[in-house]
């Protein structure tokens, strides 16, 4: 999957598909370009996410490296993210439509589930990217006003994050602080995350 193999020490405590531990968020991207069809396959998986009343509130605005939108999105990133993310093959703005028309409603009403559902869609995107041999890395470290202006975000939409997508490249070109963090990170124990019954 990469010319720069990395040791993945992640070990699930319960049996799961390896895609969940194989997916991680690198910062060293190669020069490989992504085709629009390849990116649409990744977004297609997001399209099939579950959502409240099947409202499908997720909306994506994307730029392939070289597109006119790519640079303004890169410039909306904070300084830390600008060190690595502009090398990605594509940038995807993950947004959601805040209104929906549930069954029986006569007009659009606020959709209380738009953020939850769009989170599910982003997770599907990330997992499909792994299945397709790509890496994805979400970023909340952006100037939301700048990024929203760059994509002409409608008022009834919310921008959640930018996602960098690319192939893994040479980690040795990363600044020291980022290179040290360039490996799959662990998770909290399941017993810290899930209780049988009530929370204490």
**Residue 73 near residue 147, CB atoms below 8 Å:** yes
How many of the other CB atoms lie within 10 Å of CB of 15?
5
- The H-assigned helical ranges of 58-161 are 70-75, 79-82, 114-131, 144-150
Kind plus residue range of the DSSP H or E element containing 40:
helix 36-47
Of the pair 188, 198, the CB lying nearest ligand FMN is at 188
State the Cα–Cα distance between residues 123 and 118, nearest whole angstrom.
9
Question: CA-based angle 86:185:198, to the nearest 5?
Answer: 120
Of the pair 13, 37, the CB lying nearest ligand FMN is at 13
Of the pair 94, 113, the CB lying nearest ligand FMN is at 94
Quote the least distance from Cβ 8 to ligand FMN, whole Å. Answer: 10
Of the pair 21, 53, the CB lying nearest ligand FMN is at 21
Beta bridge partners of 135: 166
Quote the least distance from Cβ 105 to ligand FMN, whole Å. Answer: 30
Helix count (H) and strand count (E) of the chain? 8, 6
Question: What residues make contact with ligand FMN under the rule CB under 6 A?
Answer: 24-25, 81, 138-141, 161, 184-185
Quote the least distance from Cβ 131 to ligand FMN, whole Å. Answer: 16
SS3 4: coil
Quote the least distance from Cβ 99 to ligand FMN, whole Å. Answer: 22
- Report the residue closest to ligand FMN, judged by CB: 141
Quote the least distance from Cβ 103 to ligand FMN, whole Å. Answer: 31
Of the pair 113, 125, the CB lying nearest ligand FMN is at 125
Of the pair 24, 29, the CB lying nearest ligand FMN is at 24
Quote the least distance from Cβ 164 to ligand FMN, whole Å. Answer: 9
Beta bridge partners of 117: none
């Amino acid at each position: 999957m990469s010319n720069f193999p990395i040791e993945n020490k992640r070990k699930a405590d319960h049996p799961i598909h390896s895609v969940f531990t194989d997916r991680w968020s690198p910062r060293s991207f190669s020069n490989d370009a992504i085709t629009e069809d390849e990116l649409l396959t990744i977004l297609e998986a997001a399209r099939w996410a579950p959502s409240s009343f099947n409202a499908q509130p997720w909306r994506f605005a994307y730029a392939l490296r070289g597109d006119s939108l790519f640079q303004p999105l890169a410039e909306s990133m904070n300084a830390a993210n600008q060190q690595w993310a502009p090398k990605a093959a594509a940038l995807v703005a993950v947004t959601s439509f805040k209104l929906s028309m549930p069954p029986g409603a006569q007009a659009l009403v606020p959709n209380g589930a738009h953020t939850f559902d769009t989170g599910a869609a982003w997770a599907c995107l990330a997992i499909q990217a792994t299945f397709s041999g790509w890496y994805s890395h979400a970023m909340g470290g952006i100037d939301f006003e700048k990024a929203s202006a760059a994509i002409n975000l409608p008022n009834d939409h919310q921008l959640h994050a930018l996602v960098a997508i690319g192939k893994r490249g040479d980690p040795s070109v990363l600044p020291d602080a980022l290179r040290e963090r360039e490996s799959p990170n662990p998770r909290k124990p399941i017993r810290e995350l899930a209780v049988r019954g009530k929370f204490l």
